[in-house]
């Protein structure tokens, strides 16, 4: 919800300003925590009667939130904001510049924003400041150029293959005993800040040297005995940790994060008179595997995707999250009939090779002119063609479907008589994706309630790092999806990952069904499935709540349920 995001942004900004002003770190952490809680909240904060019932939000923050909801601003934030130059928040984004240095730059060198920082460097204004040597200024200048040229976190679909290829390269070295990708990639976050690799080896110097001399490196930040850090030409930062083999589990746990989960574990350790760090759990000196550490903390092993301090502490057993092997059907794919690059036969052959029992052909509907959407007469012929191929192929059921546009007013792009001829209907929003929350909710609600619709495809229409998409009232949509037994899609394409993790979790907990689809247009698109799986797992999804995990006949029954 956008209100939640708006308020979260204010709390994040407040925290940064408090840092620059040198306030207590605990107060700052508490403020950041409020922002994080709001970011992860599915319900609109305005609909919650007493926000102090939410852990992390106390009286003081509650009154600030209330003030924002009533007046659209927070007076104490406005005061804070006026106490420092607004551009300093941007300066804080420069790597290597924290609150202390930023304050020093402001007070002693008149730096008020990115532009004046650049000027200060170029005119030598920083040269005589205390603890500001040549090397430090060089590093700031370099990091500044980086901020000026780029800003976004990279998509999981970009970062994961890069991480895999670097790790593969390092694994060729002699002496390697263990290796893993850690960090937010292992947790399956939709965007990645940097790549974390862990390796244990009998030849640490060779490993570090090779890593720091990999092809395509634009900068080496650190080249230590246990930590090396580089930036690739593409802008991604890659950190390598060189780990003692017998401490691999403790390191993997620590560097997988999230930070919040690690803090949670250390707090649990302290409450049991133990101490956890990146090397071991004391006093029992447990370090070899994650499982052993969790066990000693009296917790089940927690899957990386849910290590976010969003309630995993209460797990009595390891949650049975769905895996890629649970997927037995893909219910949203395109052929050459619209904008795909595969024939019906090709699509079915690939699906069969992946071990699926069912594949749905869901080409675009008539409004999607740019995607060669099918007019009714073409759709009728396409349905016949799909059924004909289905007759000729054994071991796979090919469904004649459509990805029907949900038009801005909530009506569908074909009339009901035509829709009734289809085996499966995925209804998706494609245009008018900047509607108000109210309009978007009405629009999607109409589709969910439509008796012929099986699945709502990429419900928000967002494109990661590019387009915000719709911001419907998700609580309302989920309730309707449960009532009408309409599945909400998890579009696995790494540009979309739509629904996103927190909404998947809310939907599954409310009893809604979800549908995991690749939206494949080309053969290689089927490989996007793993990003959808990671996202679903982040949403605590179990196979029992995903229609693509149903056995053949169960799915058939589900499709004709209405």
Partner DNA sequence: GCCGTTTTCGGCCCGACTGTTTTCAGTCG
Q: Name 229's Cβ contacts closer than 8 Å, sequence gap at least 6.
A: 220, 221, 222, 237, 238, 239, 240
Radius of gyration of the chain (CA): 26
Give me the least distance between CB of 44 and DNA, in Å please: 19
**Is there a contact between 184 and 458 (Cβ–Cβ < 8 Å)?**
no
Non-local (6+) Cβ contacts of 222 within 8 A are 228, 229
Tell me if 134 contacts DNA by CB under 7 A. Answer: yes
Give the contact letters, 23-52, x = binds to DNA (CB under 7 A), - = no.
-x-xx-xxx-xx-----------------x
Q: Which is nearer to DNA, 21 or 381 (CB)?
A: 21
270 binding DNA? (CB under 7 A): yes
In the list 75, 86, 96, 384, the residue contacting DNA (rule: CB under 7 A) is 96
Rounded to 5 degrees, φ, ψ at 328 are: -120, 5
Q: Shortest Cβ distance from residue 161 to DNA (Å)?
A: 20
User: What torsion do the CA atoms of 60, 66, 71, 73 make, to the nearest 10 degrees?
Assistant: 40
Instruction: Find the binding residues for DNA in span 277-306 (CB under 7 A).
Output: 277-279
Q: Which of 163, 199, 230, 276 binds DNA (CB under 7 A)?
A: 276
Q: Does 108 bind DNA (CB under 7 A)?
A: no
DSSP-derived letter for residue 494 is T
Q: How far apart are CA 163 and CA 4, in angstroms?
A: 33
133 forms part of the interface with DNA (CB under 7 A): yes
Please identify which residue in 16, 61, 362, 491 interacts with DNA, judged by CB under 7 A: 61
By CB under 7 A, name the one of 2, 9, 21, 55 that touches DNA.
55
62 lies in the site for DNA, by CB under 7 A: yes
The binding track of 210-249 with respect to DNA, each residue x by CB under 7 A or -, is -----------xxxxxxx---------x-x----------
The least CB distance from residue 491 to DNA, in Å, is: 29
Cβ 137 to DNA shortest distance, Å? 7
Cα atoms in the Cβ-side hemisphere of radius 13 Å centred on 74: 21
C-alpha–C-alpha distance, residues 260 and 265, integer Å:
9
Q: Ramachandran region of residue 23, left (φ > 0), alpha (ψ -120 to 50) or beta?
A: beta
Distance CA 276, CA 267 (A): 9
Which residues face 333 on adjacent strands? 361, 520
Using the minimum distance from each CB to DNA, give the nearer residue, 11 or 495. 11
* 545/505 Cα distance (integer angstroms): 11
The smaller minimum CB distance to DNA, of residues 101 and 545, is found at 101
Which residue number, 124 or 130, has a Cβ lying nearer to DNA?
130
Between 194 and 471, name the residue whose CB sits nearer to DNA: 194
Q: Which residues of 194-220 are buried (b: 16+ CB within 10 A; e: fewer)?
A: bbbbbbbbeebeebbebbbeeeeeeee
Residue 380, CA distances (Å) to 207, 348, 387, 399, 536 in order: 61, 20, 11, 14, 34
Which one of 53-61, 351-359, 360-368, 502-510 is the stretch in contact with DNA (CB under 7 A)?
53-61
Q: Which of 74, 80, 101, 360 is in the footprint of DNA by CB under 7 A?
A: 101
Cβ closest to DNA, residue 226 vs residue 323: 226
Shortest reach from residue 336's CB to DNA, in Å? 45
Instruction: Output the smallest distance, CB 204 to DNA, in A.
Output: 10
Q: Which residues bind DNA (CB under 7 A)?
A: 24, 26-27, 29-31, 33-34, 52, 55-62, 94-102, 130-137, 139, 183, 193-194, 196, 221-227, 237, 239, 255, 257, 259, 262-263, 266-267, 270-271, 275-279
């Amino acid at each position: 919800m956008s209100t939640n995001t708006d308020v979260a942004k204010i709390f994040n900004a407040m925290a940064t300003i408090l840092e620059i002003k040198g306030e207590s770190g605990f107060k700052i952490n508490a403020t950041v925590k409020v922002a994080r809680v709001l970011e992860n909240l599915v319900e609109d904060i305005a609909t919650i009667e007493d926000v102090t019932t939410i852990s992390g939000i106390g009286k003081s923050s509650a009154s600030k939130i209330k003030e924002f909801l009533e007046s659209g601003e927070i007076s104490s934030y406005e005061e804070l904001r006026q106490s420092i130059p607004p551009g300093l928040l941007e300066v804080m984004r420069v790597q290597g510049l924290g609150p202390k240095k930023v304050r020093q730059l402001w007070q002693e060198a008149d730096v008020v924003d990115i532009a004046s920082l650049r000027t200060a460097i170029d005119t030598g204004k920083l040269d005589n400041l205390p603890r500001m040597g040549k090397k430090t200024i060089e590093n700031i200048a370099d990091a500044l150029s980086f901020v000026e040229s780029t800003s976004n976190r990279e998509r999981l679909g970009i970062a994961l293959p890069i991480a895999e290829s670097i790790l593969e390269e390092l694994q060729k070295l002699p002496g390697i005993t263990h290796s893993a990708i850690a960090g937010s990639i292992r947790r399956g976050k939709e965007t990645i800040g940097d790549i974390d690799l862990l390796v244990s080896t009998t030849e640490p110097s060779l490993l570090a040297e090779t890593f720091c001399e990999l092809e395509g490196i634009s900068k080496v930040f650190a080249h230590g005995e246990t930590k090396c850090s580089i930036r690739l030409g593409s802008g991604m930062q890659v950190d390598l940790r060189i780990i003692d083999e017998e401490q691999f589990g403790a390191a993997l746990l620590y560097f997988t994060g999230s930070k919040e989960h690690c803090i949670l574990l250390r707090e649990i350790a302290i409450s049991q008179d133990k101490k956890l760090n990146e090397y071991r759990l004391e006093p029992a000196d447990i370090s070899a595997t994650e499982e052993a550490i969790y066990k000693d903390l009296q917790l089940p092993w927690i899957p990386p995707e849910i290590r976010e301090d969003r309630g995993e502490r209460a797990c009595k057993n390891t949650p049975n999250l769905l895996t890629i092997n649970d997927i037995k059907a893909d219910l949203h794919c395109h052929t050459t009939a619209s904008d795909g690059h595969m024939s019906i036969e090709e699509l079915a052959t690939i699906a069969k090779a992946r071990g699926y029992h069912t594949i749905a052909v869901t080409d675009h509907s008539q409004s999607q002119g740019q995607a060669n959407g099918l007019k009714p007469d073409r759709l009728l012929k396409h349905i016949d063609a799909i059924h004909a191929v289905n007759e000729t192929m054994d071991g796979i059921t090919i469904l004649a479907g459509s990805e029907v546009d949900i038009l801005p007013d909530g009506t569908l792009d074909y009339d009901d008589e035509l829709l009734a001829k289809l085996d499966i209907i995925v209804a998706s929003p494609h245009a008018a994706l900047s509607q108000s929350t109210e309009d978007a909710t009405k629009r999607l609600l109409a589709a969910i309630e439509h008796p012929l619709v099986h699945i709502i495809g990429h419900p928000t229409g967002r494109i990661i790092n590019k387009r915000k998409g719709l911001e419907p009232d998700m609580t309302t949509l989920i309730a309707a999806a449960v009532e009408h037994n309409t599945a909400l899609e998890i579009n696995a394409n790494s540009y979309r990952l739509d629904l996103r993790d927190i909404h998947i979790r809310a939907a599954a907990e409310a009893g809604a069904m979800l549908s995991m689809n690749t939206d494949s247009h080309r053969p290689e698109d089927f490989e996007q499935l793993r990003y959808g799986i990671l996202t679903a797992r982040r949403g605590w999804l179990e196979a029992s709540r995903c229609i693509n995990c149903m056995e053949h006949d169960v799915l058939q029954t589900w499709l004709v349920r209405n």
